[in-house]
Amino acid sequence: MLATSSFPEPVLELRDLLNTYLEPDKVAVILRAFEVGARAHEGQTRKTGEPYILHPVAVASILAKLRMDHHSVAAAVLHDTIEDTPLTKTEIADQFGGEIAELVDGVTKLDKMKFRTRREADAESFRKMLLAMSRDLRVIFIKLADRLHNMRTLGAMAPDSRRRIARETLDVYAPIADRLGMNVLKSELEDLGFANLHPWRHRTIAEHVQEVTGNREEVIETIRKALKRRMSETGVPCRIQGREKTPYSIYRKMRSRDLSFSEVMDVYAFRIITHSEPHCYMALGAAHALYQPRPGRFKDYIALPKANGYQSLHTVLASPYGLPVEIQIRTEEMDVTAEKGAAAHWQYKSGETTAGTAQVRAREWLMQLVDVQRHTGDSLEFLDGAKSDLFPDEIFVFTPKGKIIDLRRNATALDFAYAIHTDVGNHTRGVLVDKEEAPLSLRLDHGQTVEVITDPDTHPSPEWLNFVATAKARTAIRHYIKSLESRDTVRLGLHMLETALNARGSSVEAVPQELLESLLADNQLERQEDLFRDLAMGNLLVKVVAARLAPDAADDGRAEALMIAGSEGSVVDFGACCHPIPGDNIMGYVSAGKGVVVHRANCRNVRELRKHPDRCLAVRWASITHSLFPVALKIISENVPGSLANISASINEAGSNIEKVEQPEANPETATLMFVISVRDRDHMARVMRRLRRNRKVLKVSRVTT
C-alpha cells in the first residue's frame, strides 16, 4: 500500500471522516479500494477536467457522512470500474470479496449499445438496479450518492444534457430518496435538479427567500425564545431550530396550490427536537398553550408513520405577529431517521431491524416494485409505473382487523384490494367502506376502513384500468388481460388449423409428431402453442401450414366457417372501413401481426383482399353474440341550435352509445353529421335509425358503407 501522505487531499479528508466511526482495518480496505480504483481509472478525466477517481471518492464521502458501513464506502470508490475500466466483477471479488463486488455490479448500468434508444437503455438499467436493490438496499444508497455528486458538478455538461439529467433527477431519484426517507439527499437533489432545469426561476426564488428571511430574523428569534421558555417551564428537554424552505419546495407549493410567493412564505417554521416520545406530546401541549392551534392542521405521524418510516408531530399555530407558525416535534432518533431514512443506523447483517423502521418499510416498498416488474414485460412501462408510485402524498386506510395499509393519494377501493394481495384484487366482487357498500372506483380518504368481498368467479376487467391509481393494480390487471388474450389467441389458432386440416380429411391429432416437430424447428418455434399463436396473428398462413402437415390430401374447399361472437378479444378485429355488425354478410382476412380482421362482404376493400386467397377465411356470426359493435351513420339535420343535443338524446333513447361524432360539412340550412354508435346487431341498428327518422330535426339517416 502507498504511504497515506501520498494520497490526494480529498482521500485524506475521507480517511479522517471514516476514522471517526470505523475500525482501522475497515478504513484500510477502503484506502486499498482507492488504490485499485485509481489505477483502473488512470488517465481518465471528467468534463470538469479533474482526474476521474476524485468522483468516486466524493461519492464515498457522501456515504461516509451518512456513517455507512465499510462495504458500501469501498463499493462507492469502485462503483464505476466495471462500467468504465477493464476491471471485472470477478477481479473485484477476488480482491475485496463477493459482497463489495455485488454492490459495484448492482450500480453498474447496462451497455447502451444493446438498445435502440437511450430511454429504453435507461429504463432497463433502472430495472436491473431495482433487482439489485431488492437483494441489498445499499445499492440505491450508492446510486443516490453518485447522482448527488453528478448534480453538484452538472455545470460542466452541455445544456441539453443538463436539462435531461435534471429532469430524470426530479422524476426518479429525488422521489426515491424521499420514499426511502433520506431527506438530507432528497432536498439537495431536488434543489439542484430545479436549479438546472429552471435556472431563472430558482435564482429568483432564492433571492426572494434570502430577502424575506433577513427581514424577519428578529421576529423568528423572538418566537424561538418564547417556545424555548415554554418548553423549559413544562419540563421538556429540547433544542429548537428554525426550518428553511428550499426554492424547489416553495416552487412546488406555488404550482400545486396556485399560490403567490408571498402566500407561501407567509409562515414561520420551527422544529422541536426532544428526548422521548412522551416528551413529544408534552411539547405539543406546551406549544398549543403558548399559541392557539389552527383547526384541522394537526397531524400525528408518530402514531401513524409515513410509508418511508418518517415520524413527527406537525401542528400550525396562530402567532401574535399575524402569520402562522408551523412546528414539527420529534425525538433525536426520529430526526436522524427523517434525515437519513433507510440509511440511518445501518446494521450490517445484524438481522435486528424491527418492523416499522425505515429499512423494513423501504424493503416492503421494494418487494412491491419487484412484484410489479415480474409481471411487466416492457421496461419502459415498468419505469412509468414505478414513477407513478414515487409520490410522497399518501393516505392511511384500515382493514377490518385494524391493520394499516398505506396507499398513494387518489387510490381507489380496488387499489386497496390489490395492496392486500394480487389474488384478492383479481377476485374482488365488491367493497364495504366504513361498513357501507361502495363502488370499486371510490377514491379513498384517510382513516377509512375497507372490507373486500371476493368471488372466485370474478376476474379483472379492462374497464378497471380506467380508474386504478397504483402501479401494482395496473400491472396485475394488464397481466391478467394479456394472459387471457394469449389463451384466446392460442385457442383461435388451434381452431383455424383444425378447420383447415379437416378440409383436407385430417386433424391436429392425426398429424405425425415428427412432422409437427419439423415444422416447429423450421419456423424457430419451441411449442405447439407458439405455432397456434402465429397462425391466429397471421404470421403464418393456415392453409400453407395445413398443406405441410397433411401433404397427401387436397383441400376439398368445404372448410367450416369460423364463428364470430364478439368475445374473442384483441385477436379478432373488425374493419374500421365498413364496421360489420351481426346480421351482415362477412368475410375474414388474416392480417400479419394483427390476427383475423372481419369485413362486410360488400366492403370496398374485399376485392383487393381476395387477391390473397391464402389469407382469406370463411367466417360467420355465432347465433348468440356477446358484445356491442360500432356502426357508422350519416345524418343530415336542420342546422339550428340544439340539433346535436336533440339527436344525441334520440340515440340514447334507442339504447345506443355514441362512440364518435364529426361534422364534415354544413350550410345555413342543413348540417351533415357523421356518428359512430354501438349496437348489438342489425335489428338494434334499425331501431336506432327508426327513432332518428321520427326526430323532427333529422332530414335523412343512412348507414355509411365505406
The half-sphere exposure of 520 on its side-chain side, counting CA atoms within 13 A, is 16
Cα separation, 337 vs 358, whole angstroms: 7
Cβ 199 vs Cβ 162: under 8 Å: no
- CA–chain centroid gap for 502, Å, is 48
Neighbouring residues of 246: CB distance < 8 A, sequence distance ≥ 6: 187, 190, 191
Cβ count within 10 A of residue 70: 21
The dihedral built from the CA positions of residue 190, 191, 196 and 197, taken in this order, carries a sign that is: positive
| Residue whose grid cell is 397462425 | 535
CA distances from 290 to 108, 228, 299, 320 (A): 54, 11, 18, 10
Q: How is residue 444 written as a grid cell?
A: 379513498
Nearest alpha-carbon partner for 462 in 474, 471, 454: 474
Three-state SS sequence of 548-603: HHCCCCCCCCCCCCEEECCCCHHHEEECCCCCCCECECEEEEEECCCEEEEEECCC
Q: How is residue 248 written as a grid cell?
A: 424547489
Helix (H) or strand (E) holding 328, with range, is strand 324-331
Cβ 334 vs Cβ 352: under 8 Å: no
b (16+ CB within 10 A) / e for 42-59: eeeeeeeeebbbbbbbbb
Cα separation, 518 vs 536, whole angstroms: 20
Nearest alpha-carbon partner for 344 in 20, 59, 19, 63: 63
Cβ 496 vs Cβ 538: under 8 Å: no
Alpha helix segments (H runs only) across 246-388: 247-257, 261-265, 277-290, 332-340, 358-374, 379-388
Residues comprising the chain, all counted: 706
Cite the active site residues.
83-84
